[in-house]
Amino acid sequence: MSTTATTTQQAEQSVLLAAEQQIPSAANDANFQSLARGNRNGTLKLRGIPTFSDPVEKRKWMKEHMAAAFRYFGKLGYGEGVSGHISMRDPILKDHFWMNPFAKHFSTIKASDLVLVDHEGYVTEGGAQLPINEAGFMIHSEIHKARPDVIAAAHTHGIHGKTWSAFGKPIEMLTQDACNLYGRIGIYDDHAGIALSQDEGKAIAKALGKDNIACILQNHGLLTVGTTVDEAAILYSMLENACHSQLLAEATAANGIPKRIISSEVAQYTAEFAQNPHNFYTEFQPEYELLVEETNGRFLQ
């Protein structure tokens, strides 16, 4: 490896470490703790994202939650043929990513099915020896390059998201749930077909921006990102549901029934509490626990 490449990798590692350290511990996050009530002496607190001293154990935990995210997407009907993918940055080899294997249904994915790819998108040892989706890598790799704070990214062709995406417009704040995404949704309005080149991935990453947690890809679908795969997964279902609500509201409004949009002040107030990595992680845990119970933990294998 050249000196320049080594220096670049070291710089990227420093940026990634700084991004990870920006997240306060769950116990010290006042906004997160304000969402629930514990005992009088304040010792009963929300747990939030767990921490690990052993990176190998962290990798195992991350892969289990990634497999759960796929199972969740499968339950919700987000799978369509070979379309759709989730990527997750490896906690040890930080220029490597975990992805789903090509042409395997979301509802059947286990932790052992996940594929480890290098920064050029080639399958490496350490994960399942199966091909990945080329277009998926082209999109996700550029997002991870542009956003060191992003650990996981999710993209599928859910029916309501891709239908709303045809308008190339952001969702309106029609419900309290929609406010979870307030002010943090990008729009990519230059669809160029299947993403088999880095240029398309770079354009999507640019549309996502430096601080957004979601992006509507016109004529394509939705994309969400998170500091955990749990966050990316729950944000995806939140945005898909918001698009569903938007489509229903538009159809009703077309018949002359007025709709009321939540004010920017109220939406911002709600977002200040909701838009928290610990909160979005916690939002996914009921789904994770249900999946463990429903499958007897088979996806953890």
pLDDT of residue 193: 75
Give the span between the Cα atoms of 77 and 96, in whole angstroms.
28
Tens digit of pLDDT for each residue in 187-214? 999 987 776 778 899 999 999 999 999 9
12 close to 95: Cβ distance less than 8 angstroms: yes
Please write the tens of the pLDDT for every residue from 243-260. 999 999 999 999 999 999
Structure-block tokens of residue 284: 């996914």
Share of the chain above pLDDT 70, in %: 93
Q: What is the mean pLDDT of residues 100-120?
A: 97
What is the per-residue pLDDT for 197?
74
Architecture of domain 3-300: 3-Layer(aba) Sandwich (3.40)
Q: What is the pLDDT of residues 15-67, one digit of tens each?
A: 555 556 578 999 999 999 999 999 999 899 999 999 999 999 999 999 999 99
Q: What is the DSSP letter of 94?
A: T
Residue 11: pLDDT above 60? no
Percent of the chain surpassing pLDDT 90: 87
- Quick check: 68 pLDDT over 50? yes
DSSP character at residue 101: B
Which one, of 275, 292, 284, 289, lies nearest residue 178 by Cα? 275
CA separation for the pair 104, 11 (Å, rounded): 36
Query: Is the pLDDT at 263 greater than 90, yes or no?
Result: yes
Helix (H) or strand (E) holding 13: helix 3-21
pLDDT at residue 41 in the model: 93
Helix axes 277-295 and 229-253, enclosed angle (nearest 10): 100
* pTM confidence score: 0.92
Q: Where are the alpha helices (DSSP H) in 35-186?
A: 55-75, 134-146, 159-165
- DSSP label of 171: P
pLDDT in tens, 147-191: 999 999 999 999 999 999 999 999 999 999 999 999 999 999 998
Banded pLDDT at 5 (limits 50, 70, 90):
very low
Q: Is the pLDDT of residue 276 over 80?
A: yes
Per the CB < 8 A criterion, the answer to whether 113 and 128 are in contact is yes
Q: Are 85 and 69 in contact (CB under 8 A)?
A: no
Per the prediction, the chain carries an average pLDDT of: 93
Residue 124: the pLDDT is 98
Q: What pLDDT does 286 receive?
A: 98
Q: CB–CB of 55/17 below 8 Å?
A: no
Nearest Cα neighbor of 99 from 90, 107, 91 is 90
Is 217 in contact with 204 (CB distance < 8 Å)?
yes
Q: Could you tell me if 152 and 72 are in contact, meaning their C-beta atoms sit under 8 angstroms apart?
A: no
